[in-house]
Every structure is written in C-alpha cells, then in structure tokens.
C-alpha cells in the first residue's frame, strides 16, 4: 500500500543529491555543479532537444531516466570520469547497494519501477536509454566549452580535445546532430585556446 509518509521520506532523502559535487563546473565557472543540477539540466535537454531523438522515442520516459539514474550518487558519490577502471567497477557495486538503500524507502511498486529505470539507463538497450545517455554525455561538454565556456584546463590539465571526443563518441555517435554539435564545440574550444588539441 502506498503511503504519503514513504514518499516524503524518499523525497527528503533525495534532497541530499544537491550536496553531491561533480567535476564539471557551472557554465560561468563560478563553482562545481552538483548532481541535482546536472540531472535537472539533462532532463531539460531531453525536452528541448526531443526532435533529435529517434522517431517514436518516449521523451517523458527519457526525462524519467535522467531524473532517476544519478540518485544513487547520494550514497555512492560521483566518480571522476578519468578514474581507473578498478574504481569504476567498485563504483558500480556501490551504486547498486545505494539503489537498494534509497529505492527501499519507496512503496514496493515504485521501488521496482525505479530499479527498472536505473537498469534501463545502464543497459542502454532502448532508444530512450540511448538518448538519455547521449544527453548525459553532452551536458558537461556544453557547460565546459559551449558558447563562451571557460574550459577546465586549470582543473584538468591532461584533458585534450582528442580525449574528450574519445570519451563522448560512444554515447553520441548514433545521434548525428548531437555528435556534430559536440565536435563543433570541442573544435571551437581548441581554436579559442581553452582546450588543447
């Protein structure tokens, strides 16, 4: 049976996502973004860029995937993109445990739904999950170098254009307009001197 108290406990626990710091800074460079800001921004991207999703994609489901998949960072934290593979494996295990702890606050049916959404995002087997993953990959590129983005050379001195594109290609290449956008943003960053080639 669904209870309002269960929902409130879950929602208050999820407020802690605002305290999880990411390595990507806000577009104005003033501070690191938090994971709640990242999730909101990626969900807004899904609505705004919906025309670039494959025909028949359920954009509302994409938004749900983007809002749910990072909630586990409340307990597991956010792993830096350049972390060694062993740390990624440990993070995956920590996120699985975090999902059980956090989603366990929900009534049974919603608990199963949230686990399914997270699993769908991770498996990338549906058009919705692939589009969500593409937006999740594009968002830091836009914040860091898009428009008048300041770059991150001082924080990430080993990051190059070639490495950024290598890291992002797998998620973006099936979405030609988004992949071209990422390449253009990176090329402009190289031309402006905010990203080494």
Give me the DSSP letters along 102-166.
HHTTS-HHHHHHHHHHHHHHHHT-SHHHHHHHHHHHHHHHHHHHSTT----TTT-TT--HHHHHH
Contact between 25 and 152 under an 8 Å Cβ cutoff? The reply is yes
pTM: 0.94
Average pLDDT of the segment spanning 156-166: 92
- Enter the tokens of residue 122: 């991770």
Average pLDDT of the segment spanning 158-163: 92
Q: Tens of pLDDT along 41-98?
A: 999 999 999 999 999 999 999 999 999 999 999 999 888 777 778 888 888 899 999 9
Asked if pLDDT for residue 1 goes beyond 80, the answer is: no
pLDDT of residue 193: 92
Q: Map out the domains of the chain with their CATH numbers.
A: 4-192 (1.10.3210.10)
- Bridge partners, 32 (sequence order): 25
Asked if pLDDT for residue 38 goes beyond 60, the answer is: yes
Give 109's contacts (C-beta < 8 A, 6+ positions apart): 2
pLDDT of residue 124: 96
């Amino acid at each position: 049976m669904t209870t309002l108290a269960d929902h409130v406990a879950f929602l208050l626990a999820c407020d802690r996502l605002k305290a999880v710091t990411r390595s990507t800074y806000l577009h104005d460079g003033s501070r690191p973004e938090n994971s709640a800001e990242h999730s909101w921004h990626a969900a807004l991207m899904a609505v705004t860029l919906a025309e670039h999703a494959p025909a028949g994609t359920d954009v509302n489901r994409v938004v749900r995937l983007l809002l749910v998949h990072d909630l586990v960072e409340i307990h597991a934290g956010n792993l830096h993109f350049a972390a060694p593979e062993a740390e990624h494996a440990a993070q995956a295990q920590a996120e699985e445990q975090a999902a059980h702890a956090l989603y366990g606050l929900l009534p049974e049916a919603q608990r199963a739904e949230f686990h399914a959404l997270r699993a769908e995002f991770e498996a990338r087997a549906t058009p919705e999950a692939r589009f969500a993953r593409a937006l999740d990959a594009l968002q830091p590129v836009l914040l860091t170098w898009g428009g008048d983005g300041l770059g991150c050379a001082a924080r990430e001195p080993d990051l190059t254009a070639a490495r950024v594109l290598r890291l992002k290609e797998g998620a973006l290449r099936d979405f030609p307009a988004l992949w071209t956008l990422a390449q253009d943003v990176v090329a402009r960053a190289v031309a402006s001197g905010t990203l080494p080639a």
